[in-house]
Chain A
Amino acid sequence: MSTLPDQARCHALYRQMLRIRRFEERCGELYKQQKIRGFLHLYIGEEAIATGVIDRLEPRDVISATYREHGHALVRGVSMRAIMAEMYGKVAGCSRGRGGSMHLFDVQRGFLGGHAIVGAGLPIAVGLAMARKRLDQGAISVCFFGEGAAAEGEFHEALNLAALWELPVLFVCENNGYAMGTALARSESQTDIHLKAQAYKIRAEVVDGMDVLAVDEAAQRAISAIRADLKPYFLECRTYRFRPHSMFDPELYREQAEVSEWKKKDPLLTFRAQCETAGLLDEAAVQAMEQEIASEIEDAVQFSEQAEWEAESDLLKDVYTPRGAP
């Protein structure tokens, strides 16, 4: 267990994780009501990772993530209204309803997707780091991906390029143990993902992805190291997905006992207990957070319900950039 920070920071970390959890619980309900369609991949159980890492970034840093990225977008400051409206498919969505749950973008906040081809975000993150290094030295490119990506060639190509070209990339592997329904040991001969990064001479460490403070500390170490020498760093955050892979998943590949065992490590429960023991958080404070979050979510839902659909006449808009634009 890590040492607890001051009360304000404890509240901020807990509040952020709670915000992701409640938002996604509502998304799951809205999916069942068919307000949200397509695929919906919930992050529930993994909230400590996005919270711990993204909170330590600067505005000049850029982030790329996967199709399980609602939490990352929320922590980065993409508005909940814009995220929810995107999932509704409305033009007020953060990607104008063109992307949906899997493709959240907010360039103003350096949130560059939302990539749904496993492993394909890594080379893009490497290129973003090339640009950051040349245009704003000290800024970094952070890339979130699942352990399933380690089976893709693009994972290995990207790690090699980042190390070879000495680029400021923070690779964050969210190892939840399953690539959809395939357990890590069924798909990888070497299940210690961080060792693959070390093989490319990238500094790499294993982090308890269920412990927000452990993630926060590892992120600080990694980010300051990258800013100092502009070379990559790799965090393998071990975590667990409490919900099915997507809303279509009957979960035939894992035992409920395993899920229950991991739920004892729920990052919200464990962090809350730790804070309460230290006298830094109490029921009243949590209730206040719950109320604020509930009203933020309700506002986002109402906003999305009332938001406009994009005119069909705009169908072909934004396939190409208007000529003369930068």
Chain B
Amino acid sequence: MSVTSPAETAARTPFLKPLIWALILFLCVTPFLLIFAVSFGHKIEGASWEWGFSFANYQRVFVGASWPDEITFLYLQKLYYSLYYAVIASVLAVLTAFPFTYLMTGLSRRAQSAWLVFILASLSLSEVFIVMGWDVLLSNRSGLPMVFKETGLTAWLKEVGWFDTLREWGLANPRNVKFKTSVFATVLTMAYLVWPYAVILLYPPLSRLDRSMVEAAQTMGAGPGTVMRTVILPSVRLPLAGAILLLFVFLLGVYVAVTVFAEPAKQTMAVSVYEAVRGNTLNAPFGAAQAVVLLITAGIFLVLGQWLSRRGTS
């Protein structure tokens, strides 16, 4: 704590507060308003777009461009996959980071800070880099499929007939197993991407957890499962839900992992937004409309999550 209180500082610099507000408005609200305004624009077929005021782009998001002659839920399908990957990957990341972080907080101070530095350092890896790494790991000649082939696992799978099942699931071609493109690879990479964040988000509540409560429960005869269920989990329920929500929102916008690991039928709205704005059609208004719908959906989920966790505490 500093010696001067915030009120005193504000009294001495009367312009500071409005200045900060102006900055926040400019940095956060302007881009959003711009996107919002663009989303009502009009696409000129074969060229670019112009400013306008029509709801055609929003209509297209829900029923497609040829409505009412024809109806398609193509873009809602993309929205569904945005939510699908984000929910699964964020839950997966938090569920796996939780035991790790719990065990980590039981280590010595020195070991804890070593782990934290390592995890913070891994955040410097960009999405592109991580996707590249997993791409290599899952590739036919350099990754997991090669291991399958060399260890004889592929031959064994073919022998017992499970290989055909894998082919039906799209996880094999006639020669070997394949993990790209698949939901498995997409979710795995996305969970990996946010895993360090999950640890960092869970670390403060778990390190504040009073270990004597755990010991007390144990001396009273509670097994590890019971301790986890009745002591640890209830006390960190809110941070857990908060971490999942934050990672969920973060994952809604993932682009590289989805373009590389998901087949076109299972790609997300973020990819569709990018294609509309920067792709061959130069349809920024349609991209903006999709972005607004995605944003509103994320907002609804956040409010819902907040409401659920508040209801859980009361």
Do A and B come together as binding partners? no
Q: Which residues of A are at the interface with B, using a C-beta cutoff of 8 A?
A: none
Q: Which residues of B are at the interface with A, using a C-beta cutoff of 8 A?
A: none
